[in-house]
């Protein structure tokens, strides 16, 4: 039995840690783990912590219980302009969470343990990897309930499953079982529900044997082609970080502080 320790207490999510892995669990089982502005604000805060803490190497996103990963936005708090928070303001701040998952320089695994529907489906789509339990159900409901996601939920989905299949998923609002999701390339692996934790921990531990900087650059590179200038900025920022680690870059800074001409000619120019 693994001993997960709490990183921080929240109202709508559980946030715990085990052996280099941070796990964010949407903890609204009564509502099939549908999210409210409070939920997504807490998820955003947890993801910020995951980015900042050097002892966190891989992030897992999942849902409480054994019937739902996330059923999307909670329709009970949906109002004009978005989902209504405790302050009475309508928000779509799940979009911020999507962007954080995309840009965080660490692998993010979606552990889908039941329904991944609507906005919950989009959350798993934007994760780097998806491991599903055999009881997982995938699908979009937006056009049926007066909603849609024309961002990552459609454009990136189409890059994963193809344009025709993405249009089918959105235009018909059908549900797909775990095997169907695997067949269309929407998930990476399907396992029995009672083996889901073993599987995602195993995948995380396997990735932690690899170069974290290499994984960071691969993630940025894979995103850059799809994310336009924002993606290029992420990749360029990582390249700048690598450059700062070189003696050549250090020479520039030292020369400035020492009020002398930098000797860049001392450094190699690779073909």
Which residues does the annotation place in the binding site? 32, 83, 115-119, 140-142, 147, 244, 259
Q: What does DSSP assign to residue 89? A: -
Binding positions for substrate are 32, 83, 115-119, 141, 147, 244, 259
In whole angstroms, what is the distance from residue 259 CA to residue 271 CA? 31
Between the CA atoms of 103, 104, 109 and 110, what dihedral angle is there, to the nearest 10 degrees?
-60
In whole angstroms, what is the distance from residue 121 CA to residue 202 CA? 23
Binding positions for hydrogencarbonate are 140-142
**C-beta of residue 113 within 8 angstroms of C-beta of residue 63:** yes
Q: What does DSSP assign to residue 267? A: S
Q: Kindly report the length of the chain.
A: 271
Q: What does DSSP assign to residue 245? A: T
**C-beta of residue 46 within 8 angstroms of C-beta of residue 35:** no
Q: What does DSSP assign to residue 246? A: S
State the DSSP H helix or E strand holding residue 226, giving kind and residue range, or none if neither. Answer: helix 212-244
- Using only C-alpha atoms, the chain has a radius of gyration, in whole angstroms, of 21
Backbone angles phi, psi at 170, to 5 degrees: -85, -40
| Residue that is written with structure tokens 């235009």 in the block | 171
């Amino acid at each position: 039995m693994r001993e997960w320790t709490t990183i921080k207490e929240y109202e709508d999510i559980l946030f715990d840690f085990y052996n280099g892995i941070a796990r964010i669990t949407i903890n609204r089982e009564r509502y099939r783990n549908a999210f409210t502005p409070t939920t997504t604000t807490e998820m955003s805060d947890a993801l910020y912590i995951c980015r900042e803490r050097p002892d966190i190497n891989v992030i897992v996103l999942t849902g409480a219980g054994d019937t739902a990963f996330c059923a999307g936005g909670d329709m009970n708090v949906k109002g004009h302009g978005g989902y209504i928070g405790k302050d009475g303001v309508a928000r779509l701040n799940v979009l911020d969470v999507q962007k954080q998952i995309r840009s965080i320089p660490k692998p993010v695994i979606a552990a889908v343990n039941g329904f991944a529907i609507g906005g919950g489906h989009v959350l798993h789509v934007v994760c780097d990897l998806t491991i599903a339990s055999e009881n997982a159900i995938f699908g979009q409901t937006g056009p049926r309930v007066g909603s849609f996601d024309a961002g990552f939920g459609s454009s990136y989905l189409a890059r994963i499953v193809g344009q025709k299949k993405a249009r089918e998923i959105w235009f018909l609002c059908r549900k797909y079982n775990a095997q169907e999701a695997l067949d269309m390339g929407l998930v990476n692996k399907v396992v029995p529900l009672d083996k889901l934790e073993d599987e995602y921990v195993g995948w995380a531990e396997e990735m932690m044997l690899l170069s974290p900087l290499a994984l960071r650059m691969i993630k940025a590179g894979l995103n850059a082609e799809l994310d336009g200038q924002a993606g290029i900025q992420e990749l360029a920022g990582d390249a700048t970080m690598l450059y700062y680690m070189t003696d050549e870059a250090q020479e520039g800074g030292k020369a400035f502080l020492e009020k002398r001409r930098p000797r860049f000619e001392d450094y190699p120019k690779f073909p």
